[in-house]
Structure 1
Amino acid sequence: MSKEFRFGIVAGMAPDAAAWTATARHAEDLGYSTLLVPDTLGTLPPLLAMTAAATVTTTLRVGTFVLAAPYRNPPQLAHELAGLDFLSGGRLEVGVGAGRPAAEEDARALGMPYGTAAERIAQVRTVISEVRTAFAGTNAFSKSTVQRQGPPIMIAGAGPRMLALAAEEADIVALAVQADTTEEGLRGPIGTLRAAAGARFDDVELSMNLLQIGDEPPPWVPEGLRTPSAEAAAILRGSPREMADTLLRRRDELGLSYITVGGFFADALAPVVELLAGS
């Protein structure tokens, strides 16, 4: 049975605090399910940004897109996430990964070792374990968490090792594919995940981030990437009804039901959110 559609905004920048909290309220007003914050040194610190967003909203869930495990202290991170779950009233989701291509530079700036790919994947597993332990713990603070079973865990990945970990541990899997990947190209990582997850696959929520809505790319995309293939799955074009039909077909054929998009396109995708969210 197909999962209900959810939509999320990915954002991590604002000119001031008032603009940031306005972004959160606007996302909620438009019907988005989540506000997801990247984990980079060029964007707002994710846990602080999520806390601010949670305090000015009532239904919007807040999450990370995604925490870089290599430069996090897992027990401390788990404690802080438990606090964020409490402050948000149980609206926390936790995305974690082994580090995007530029994460090694950020880790160096933070004075943290980056490690090999295998070491970083092991760190992702450790973070997940510590988060679940903290939420199920018996100390005074752990008992105050709202999501006692732990927050939904998102793992971002496309390679076989990350997908194997996601098959074991993730509630949500974000396909971290190249921007020009076609729908046909999505079948490979989804098939890998399905094979690794077995019967558990039906319990996993599949997610994809859209790079562009309509014909104009976002202003931050480098010139060399401004003309991706017309077949790129990360670009959604057409009328709201046509875009909705594309997403419905992808859900039927690929299982993709959780769609995220950069905050720049929040208003452009909003008519599709209105058509599909919760259906």
Structure 2
Amino acid sequence: MTRPFRFGIVAAPDGGPDQWRKTVLRAAELGYSAILMPDGLQLLSPFPSLAMAASIADIRVGTFVAAAPLRTPRQAAWEAHSLTVLTDGRFEFGIGTGRPGTDRMAEELGLPYGSGKERRDQIRETLDQLEQLDGDRHTPVMLAAGGPRSLALAAARADIVSIAKSALTPRDEVIGLAAELRALAGARADDIELALNLFAAGEGDLPPWTKRATGADPAELQKTDSLMLLPGTPQQMADELQRRRDSFGASYISVNANYLEDLAPVVELLDGR
């Protein structure tokens, strides 16, 4: 099934409430459908930040993604359910096992980090708790998946899946992982929306902090045709996103908030199509 495109931005209120308000309003004005916020102790908490965003504009909000080790399953489910209720169903609960450095954050909070299996089990328990709290409601769940076990979990439980691989992962490998996800999902395959996060878009040069953010040199990213990049004119970018959707099904496109304006013409060309 070919899903219509929708677009989100990945942002955080690191400039304070006025900057956050401007970012949210501008994203909504440009036609983006979602504000997605990362998780980590270096940032403000995503849950109240997203509650504020949802009150500013008629836009979806989501964690991208909440780190399971930073909260107990019951606490994470409680926060997610609360946002689903308060946003009248406009919240998407992204949850994962944690990025590098999450182990230190969990220790700071006095929480166990656990093995890979224990962290996946924590996600399962969180989703079980969320289903109980939601009752007749349903909070859409986004899972990031790259390995066999996380792909199986996503195939069984996620509404939205982001293929979690390095910035230098070849396109053919991503296509294969998407096919594996659909095979594991079986009858659920058409119910899963595939997400793709972009680090940069447009015709400008990559910023000097690219390597810190992606783990790869800018020249290497460009040389390997990284799927985290979307270079070109608006029409070239739109054409390339349609090729990516045709080849592995990605239709939910998010971009770093620094490229909010750069991707906006593509949102106008493709949103809902």
TM (norm. structure 1) is 0.91
The CA distance in 1 between the partners of 2:264 and 2:42, in whole Å, is: 27
8 Å CA contact 2:5, 2:271 repeated in 1: yes
- Secondary structure of 1:3 counterpart: coil
User: Structure 2: how far apart are the matches of 1:130 and 1:219?
Assistant: 42
Identify the match of residue 218 of structure 2 among 223, 226, 233: 226
Counterpart residue number, 2:11? 11
SS at match of 2:210: coil
Partner of 1:260: 254
1:113 aligns to what? 112
1:22 partnered with 2:22: yes
**Alignment partner of 2:144 out of 153, 156, 165:** 156
Query: Taking structure 1 as reference, are residues 135 and 191 closer, same or farther at Cα in structure 2, changes over 3 Å only?
Result: same
> 1:207-254 CA distances to partner (integer Å, 9 max, x unpaired)?
011111134224532365322143111111111111101111111121
* Divergent runs of 4+, >6 A: none
2:176 is matched with 188
Unaligned runs of 5+ in 1: 137-147
In the alignment, what sits opposite 1:142?
Answer: none
Contact 1:179–1:211 at 8 Å: present in 2 too?
A: no
Q: Deviations over 1:153-186 (max 9, x none)?
A: 0001211110100000000001111112232221
1:218, 1:264 within 8 Å by CA — same for their partners in 2?
no
Give CA deviations for 1:13-70 in whole Å, capped at 9, x if unaligned.
Answer: 4321111121111111111111011011112210011011011112x10000001111
Indicate the larger mover: 174-183 or 215-224.
215-224
**Matches of 1:194 and 1:83 in 2, distance apart?**
31
Asked if the contact 1:67/1:95 (under 8 Å) is kept, the reply is yes
The Cα RMSD (Å) is: 1.4
Question: Which secondary structure does the structure 1 equivalent of 2:51 belong to?
Answer: helix
The question of 1:130 aligning with 2:118 is answered no
Segments of structure 2 that go 5 or more residues without pairing to the other structure are none
Q: Determine the C-alpha separation between the residues in 2 that align with 1:193 and 1:157.
A: 9
The separation in 1 between residues aligned to 2:192 and 2:22, in whole angstroms, is: 32
Q: 1:107-161, CA deviations, whole angstroms, 9 ceiling, x for partnerless residues?
A: 111111000000001111111111111110xxxxxxxxxxx43111000121111
Distance between the aligned counterparts of 2:87 and 2:32, measured in 1? 16
What CA distance in whole angstroms lies between the structure 2 residues aligned with 1:213 and 1:229?
12
Instruction: Decide whether aligned partners of structure 1 residues 173 and 4 sit closer, same or farther in structure 2, where only a CA change above 3 A counts.
Output: same
Amino acid at match of 2:72: N
Once the two structures are superposed, the pairs formed by residues 1-279 of structure 1 within 5 Å of their partners are 1-58=1-58, 60-136=59-135, 148-214=136-202, 215-222=204-211, 225-227=217-219, 228-230=221-223, 231-279=225-273
Contact 2:38 2:63 in 1 (8 A): yes
Percent pairwise identity: 44
